[in-house]
Amino acid sequence: MNAIIAGQDEAVYRSAEQAPSVRWALATLSLAVLLSSLGTSIANVALPNLAEAFNASFQKVQWIVLAYLLAITTTIVSVGRLGDITGRKRLLFAGIFLFTVASSVCGVAPTLWLLIAARALQGLGAAIMMALTMAFVGETVPKAKTGSAIGLLGTMSAIGTAFGPSLGGMLIAGLGWRAIFLINLPLGILALFLAHRYLPNDRQRLKAERPGFDHLGTLLLALTLAAYALAMTTGRGSFGPFNVALLLASVFGAGLFVLAEKRTASPLIRLAMFRNLVLSSSLATSMLVSTVMMATLVVGPFYLSRA
């Protein structure tokens, strides 16, 4: 009986000891999600200013947003798998570091194309943060509170997306467009410190336990999405032969991607999941909502600036 009581006391003590570290780990993950979602929406409001600053057309300046989103879309699934192979804490730390450095480059970029390239790197860092924060929930939070933790991260993502345009507007009005990128520097440094201090270390895995990485699928997905994005944005409002060729290339690339996923042992996306009608309809609805939302966020600032 005494042994049972002693064991219960020890469990209670451990739970009380772990509670602060769990809260700090959640704070770290929340900050990472907030940064990645802010990066999605904060730049949209600056597009008219950036078009004027770089003397660029809308077709060119919209790539400041597209490069970020394209980098996230093409790599978010891959980096989740990469985290399982290399270690989640190590990769998340690298993602936050890349996001912070790329944000600094965005803030001092002298040319539009350097800004777009830095935004693509920023998007890669954001993809790592988005993918691995959810994966870390299972390692840092007790199973009974997993749902609440995921809800918190979802809330932080929504706050970042909603708060980005207003924060960006205030920073542009007070400090200029470069401030919307440089604001990430102190926040990124804070996230790096918290991640190093409070996230659990990676456990060593035997080589046989590590999942495979779908190099071909990752490359095909990136090329397909890039071809589609170029098809939709190249030209000044006209859809010419080059656009048609790019669109056909994206369709061909999508077909190759499906074939590659069927044949590989470790697919990037398990196509069998789409046989679930509930999942497929949910994904289709989410895609439509995101399409309308992002179209509004990109075009809206130009419309309002000319109102």
Q: In this model, does residue 66 exceed pLDDT 70?
A: yes
List the structure tokens of 123: 């998007």
Q: In this model, does residue 222 exceed pLDDT 90?
A: no
On the 0-12 / 13-18 / 19+ scale of CB atoms within 10 A, 56 is middle
Asked if 80 and 131 touch (Cβ cutoff 8 Å), the reply is: yes
The C-alpha atoms of residue 41 and residue 297 are separated, in whole angstroms, by 7
pLDDT at position 300: 64
Query: Residue 307: pLDDT band by 50, 70, 90 thresholds?
Result: low
User: Which residue ranges make up each domain of the chain?
Assistant: 22-211
Match 């995101």 to its residue by tokens. Answer: 290
Assign 209 to helix, strand or coil: helix
- For 22-211, the fitting CATH number among 2.40.180.10, 3.40.50.360, 1.20.1250.20, 2.170.150.20 is 1.20.1250.20
Match 């790197």 to its residue by tokens. Answer: 121
Q: In this model, does residue 297 exceed pLDDT 60?
A: yes
- pLDDT tens-digit series, residues 164-217: 888 888 999 889 999 999 999 999 999 999 998 888 887 766 555 556 777 888
| Helix orientation angle between 88-108 and 63-86, rounded to the nearest 10 degrees | 160
Q: CA-CA-CA-CA torsion for 111, 118, 252, 274, nearest 10 degrees? A: -150
Q: In this model, does residue 240 exceed pLDDT 70?
A: yes
